[in-house]
Structure 1
């Protein structure tokens, strides 16, 4: 009996076995091709930012060095100035203070009159002081009870000058707390504790050179006054008066 020959079976393209075997032969998608050819991201250094930072650091360094140099020069100039001129502050003292009248009206208006004499001393041998007009205030317990002025003047070397001023307050209104405090002090047997303030600006002259105006305040404490009896002015006690001179520097809106 002759054997039968069967034709070879065609590959099953729709079967699961054929699909699993040929998965690796599928062509790559566009996304896979793009990802495979896309270069890796590498951030580039910001040369401009580094250059800007280096310039800023250089400017800060030079400014710091310049500031140190200026401070050094000022220190040298100050040392030379001190050695050559030996500067000292002027001194002030209350020579006399007389109270002609002091009263508070029923409408809380203050009226007062003082006659003040102050001695100013320039102890320097090579410095001349040039004073602007001086404003003077007399206070008791921080209550302003009189104001006046002294004209500008030139204070020569090793010179003593007597300054005189009429200090008055006419018609100045006081608040109720100030009126109460002032009336209590006026009745006290110990008298009124007074404080004198002088404010001005002064230049120092050395040969042909003048400094800029420098603000000064003179504060004098330890003064006591009693109310006058009749028309005779009362002389205040100034034996314990002490005056202090402070330099006042103004920076923009603040005064130190």
Structure 2
């Protein structure tokens, strides 16, 4: 329990004197009242700040703040590194583009003949196609590697897949024209509906049989001595021929292509 020290005794009231006049002592001036009190607290009752039950929380928070700061610093550093790499990559591609001026190869169908489709019978057909594709690489310093694995070649009539095959592997150097001859065969169990047979007979009578050729080829670009990652070239050609027997004549053709960089 705190002990309180009270101020000194109050001075004597008016008319009262302390001291002994006979001994020559005069009364002392009354002590002025103190302006403060002194409180004494036992040592075992001194409290810490914070109290013991909150000390662990203070320690946890004091550790947590630096960790958050470190995480923010690491995240900012990571963003700075990514931004720097992106800028350098962009500058590199820009320089390479200005130096090499790359352009996509041009594709066209030079030959297209059909056999194995009998429209006078209701039995399944086994179509065969001989297709000649021309690829022109107009780049002066860029070569193209075509891979067989992962490639595909398909021929469609009104959305029906009649035959399929793969593209042979080859390398096309700069300023080069490569002609690829493909022999494609379909399954012997392709059953045409009566409506499709009738439509084909009408096209034969008009000598305009429309087919669609789809080619998918994994390629790698060679720039100097450096090879890029594998990209996918997709080529679609609309080809119209005059008949279903070989040799046939191409009436019209139109090709378009696209690249999947990743």
TM-score normalised to the size of structure 2? 0.68
Distance 2:190 2:144 in 1: 37
Q: Report 1:50-199 matches (<5 A).
A: 50-103=65-118, 106=122, 109-133=124-148, 134-173=151-190, 179=193, 182-189=196-203, 190=206, 191-199=208-216
Contact 1:225 1:234 in 2 (8 A): no
Distance 1:68 1:218 in 2: 35
Q: Report 1:7-86 matches (<5 A).
A: 44-45=57-58, 46-86=61-101
- Specify which structure has the higher proportion of strand: 1
- Between stretches 95-104 and 127-136, larger displacement belongs to 95-104
Distance 1:95 1:112 in 2: 20
Q: Give per-residue Cα distances to partners, 1:144-196, cap 9 Å, x unaligned.
A: 1111233111112111111111121132445xxx7355324313335432111
Post-superposition offset of 1:94: 0.9
TM-score normalised to the size of structure 1? 0.70
From the superposition, tell whether residues 63 and 238 of structure 1 become closer, same or farther in structure 2 (CA, over 3 Å).
farther
1:245 corresponds in structure 2 to 257
Q: Does 1:210 align with 2:210?
A: no
Q: Give per-residue Cα distances to partners, 1:210-252, cap 9 Å, x unaligned.
A: 112211111112x223543xxx52525353x2222211245xx
- Rg larger in structure: 2
Please give the root-mean-square deviation of Cα atoms over the aligned residues, in Å. 2.7
Query: Which ranges in structure 2 are unaligned for 5 or more consecutive residues?
Result: 1-46
